[in-house]
Chain A
Amino acid sequence: MTSYFRSLGLALAAAGALTTASAVAQAEEVQKGGTVVVQMKGEQRILNPGLRASTGVYYITGKIMEPLIDKSYEGYEPVLATDWSSSDDGLHITLKLREGVNWHDGKPFTCDDVAFSAMELWKKLLNYSSALQANLESVDCPDPHTAVFNYSKPMPMDLFLAAMPDLGHPVPKHLYEGTDILKNKYNTAPVGTGPFKFVEYQRGQYVMAVKNDDYWREGYPYLDRIVWRFINDKSAAAAALESGEVQESGFIGISMADIERLSKDDRFDVGTMGYENNVAHSTVEFNHRNPILADLKVRQAMYHGLDIDYAIKTIMRGYAKPGRGPIPTAGGANYTDQVPTYAYDPELAKKMLDEAGYPVKDDGYRFHLRHRPAPWGEYTQLWAEYYAQAMKEIGIDVEILTNDAPGFLKGVYRDHDFDTANGWHQFRSDPAVSTMVWLRSGQPEGTPWTNQFGWKDAEIDQMIDDAASELDPAKRAEMYHTIQAKAMEELPVIFAIEHPFISVTSKKLHNHHNTPRWNSSSWYDLWIEQ
């Protein structure tokens, strides 16, 4: 597993589109103190990573509450757990916990906290995690610094480890036990073990945290204070960066045009480093209940009608690659580029549509589609408009139905009232816990970001299930290659563009973007030039 993540980092480094500011920074003298202000696009209202699994939540709470295990470019990094092992039958996972760690209120961190969090939050309340921990029976504490996770069915160690950095944040038991966990006041005023202590959360304005003097990593953190400012408007956010009010903007917090512009500005580092764990696909999703779209030839023709390179150049400003199915290049060993592809060829697309039995009719179109774009703004919206534009060129009329987020989610995932849709879907380090839910049939009705497309293919279902329970990494990778090729052939969803997220960071910051999930990490070694 370790080598898997190292090769992932190297593969991305070799891929080119990265900045390497942190390497230079190592050589300089560290300055202690100072405040870093971070721009956040959306406001996160629940600040408890044990209750809400979301990158936006980690962006803030990662500095305040720590996971048991994190990721670095070298592999898994012990944080609150120092060692981990699995029994041969895969039913018991034993974690050694770090000693001498205190919660911000001075109480010691022990196995009780882990057991409570796992049973009461991760298994019951945490999105994504409740499926992962469905077979968790109990957590034993043979001593205060050993935790044993007992499962009723084997839990593959690599899946457990892959999940822990995101889905393994313990909460202090003494503040949660016996309360209504969903309404606990510490959900918005987190108490953790991290390098920074929560100070205040002004709704609609900012969250502030200050240095934890009692932090277990001696001599850290370097910063005095971190402030997360909520700036929704992308133009305003770019202005805040330029005027020096904000030092970092992550997760594509400003427009792609401004990202490109600031990448040429020598005050900023702009790059995709630090997002190896957060790669996304811009998609075109089909409603297979529509008989026209159920026709494979039509879907393939539509793919041929999309000029992906043009979209990457104009919409994503080059910070992206053509998608190759459900697993991105960041998927490491599970990724392959040995898959069928669909070159941009509108003439071929028209010919295929003619052959499929959809000639151009009197109104100038072959057929009409109702398209729902995800309202995530800027590039997602442009991608929807480009898609509509491109389809028109090959004789398909696409009407775009714009709704706000609840309207979109209901329209696509609950009501299935669409012909095509687009959005982006994040790949979460392992296909088993992320993109496979887009292909596997039988997803509970109405669950967002799962296969609600009416797509059902017994063969693919079987392959997905087999791969998820395969314990040999090499065989598992092989199986995912097959799935990927099959998905590119059958096109249940077009994973059109693979794009990492992008950060714009002031060059005053050092040791930034130096782990594969940096914006979610604790920033204990981040420092700022005064």
Chain B
Amino acid sequence: MRFPFPPILIYALRRLLQAVPVVILIMIGTFLLLKLAPGDTVDALVGDMGGADADFIARLRAEYGLDQPVWVQLWRYMTKLATFDFGWSFVYEQPVSTVLMDRLGTTLLLMATSLSIAFTVGTALGAIAARRAYSATDNLISVLGLVFYATPSFFLSLMMMLLFSVKLGWLPVGGIKTIAGFYTGWDHVIDVAKHLIMPTAALSLIYLSFYLRLMRASVLEVADLDYVRTARAKGAGEMRLMIHHIMRNALLPVVTLLGLQFSTVLGGSVVVETIFTLPGLGQLAYQAVVQRDMNTLMGIIFLCALIVVVVNFLTDLLYARLDSRIELA
């Protein structure tokens, strides 16, 4: 028995340290990038209001510090951020931290369910496809996965909504819970689950095919390795072979993908959250861009960066757990 933890911890900690400049780079880059966009949050607010007079507009700009040079604004923002102060959202008239915390739960829930469904169903189907490689079953599974992947998520969402909400009346159109339903306990859980079915399906179907294809390729590759052949020669059952010998190693690249995919899924959830009016970070990010709500967008990006760093850290650990022979560069 070996002890993989000390080296993995060092490796993981090194990656954490490397993440610091990345996060700073991201924050400064995003700030400057959004400053390049034409118009500012006052334009957006006045647009929402249906107009305002010139004095009012000038006063808002001064109030929000938008009359300062960009470098001053950036400095002010970064010094505040250094103390984990996300600032104030002029669009929501709330501290950014409150705005974010309100949305984080929904997004994490949506992502966790979507990714775990995509992961389990995808890897299972991928493994089946690989064991029956080049058969009709394999072709069917592979093509089906690709079709899901090729369908724009908004298209899929609208079609599901049409079928399950309007025609059949089984599922609610959108939102995270029945407003004014006042459910508690299990009723609440069931209510939320019902609201999440369609968005989760829409989101997970895209990523399912990633896992499916990767798993299929991975299993095919591992199945040919010597130790699997040895095991088979020794008369190991197909099921045992699959679980003990193949799956374990085939999962490695798939787990890497899982870590990398977090921010991609957040991007993908913009459209899904918009259609299903889910109060999550994806929709918030889109609104923040369109409203030039600098502080909120910066907060989302920062949160996202933190989550990616944490997820990568966990993936590293998981990776080491799955393959104790892994070499840590």
A and B form one complex: yes
Task: Say yes or no: A53 contacts B37, CB within 8 Å.
Answer: no
Give per-residue flags for B43-72: 1 if the beta carbon is below 8 A from chain A beta carbons, else 0.
110111111111111000001000000000
Interface residues of B (CB under 8 A from A): 37-41, 43-44, 46-57, 63, 91-94, 99, 102-103, 158, 161-162, 165-166, 169, 172-176, 179-180, 274-277, 279-280, 283-284, 287, 289-292
Give per-residue flags for A168-204: 1 if the beta carbon is below 8 A from chain B beta carbons, else 0.
0000000000000011000110000000000000111
Partner of A406, one of B38, B51, B54, B56: B38
Task: Say yes or no: A407 contacts B51, CB within 8 Å.
Answer: no
Please report the C-alpha to C-alpha distance between residue A187 and residue B63 in the assembled complex, in whole angstroms: 16
Partner of A447, one of B51, B275, B276, B287: B51
Task: Say yes or no: B39 contacts A406, CB within 8 Å.
Answer: yes
Task: Say yes or no: A448 contacts B51, CB within 8 Å.
Answer: yes
Please report the C-alpha to C-alpha distance between residue A471 and residue B290 in the assembled complex, in whole angstroms: 44
Complex: chain A residue closest to B40, CB-CB? A406
Task: Say yes or no: B52 contacts A406, CB within 8 Å.
Answer: no
Interface residues of A (CB under 8 A from B): 35, 37, 42-46, 52-57, 125, 127-128, 130-131, 182-183, 187-188, 202-206, 208, 225, 227, 229-233, 235-236, 239-240, 242-243, 245, 403-411, 414-415, 426, 444-450
Task: Say yes or no: B276 contacts A227, CB within 8 Å.
Answer: no
Task: Say yes or no: B93 contacts A46, CB within 8 Å.
Answer: yes
- Given A127-B56, A229-B179, decide whether A405 and B38 contact each other with a Cβ distance below 8 A: no
Contacting residues, chain B, for A204 (C-beta < 8 A): 102-103, 277, 279-280, 283-284
Contacting residues, chain A, for B291 (C-beta < 8 A): 405-406
Partner of A231, one of B50, B52, B174: B174
Q: List 28 A-B contacts (CB under 8 A).
A: A43-B287, A45-B92, A54-B49, A57-B49, A128-B53, A130-B56, A182-B63, A202-B102, A203-B94, A205-B175, A205-B176, A206-B175, A235-B161, A239-B173, A404-B39, A405-B47, A406-B43, A406-B44, A406-B47, A406-B290, A407-B37, A408-B39, A410-B38, A444-B53, A444-B54, A446-B57, A448-B46, A448-B47
Contacting residues, chain B, for A205 (C-beta < 8 A): 175-176, 179, 277, 279
Q: How far is the CB of B152 from chain A (nearest CB, A)?
A: 14
Complex: chain B residue closest to A244, CB-CB? B169
Contacting residues, chain A, for B53 (C-beta < 8 A): 127-128, 130-131, 444, 447
- Given A37-B179, A205-B179, A227-B180, decide whether A236 and B277 contact each other with a Cβ distance below 8 A: yes
Contacting residues, chain B, for A44 (C-beta < 8 A): 48
Partner of A35, one of B46, B94, B99, B180: B180
Please report the C-alpha to C-alpha distance between residue A184 and residue B137 in the assembled complex, in whole angstroms: 63
Contacting residues, chain A, for B51 (C-beta < 8 A): 127-128, 447-450
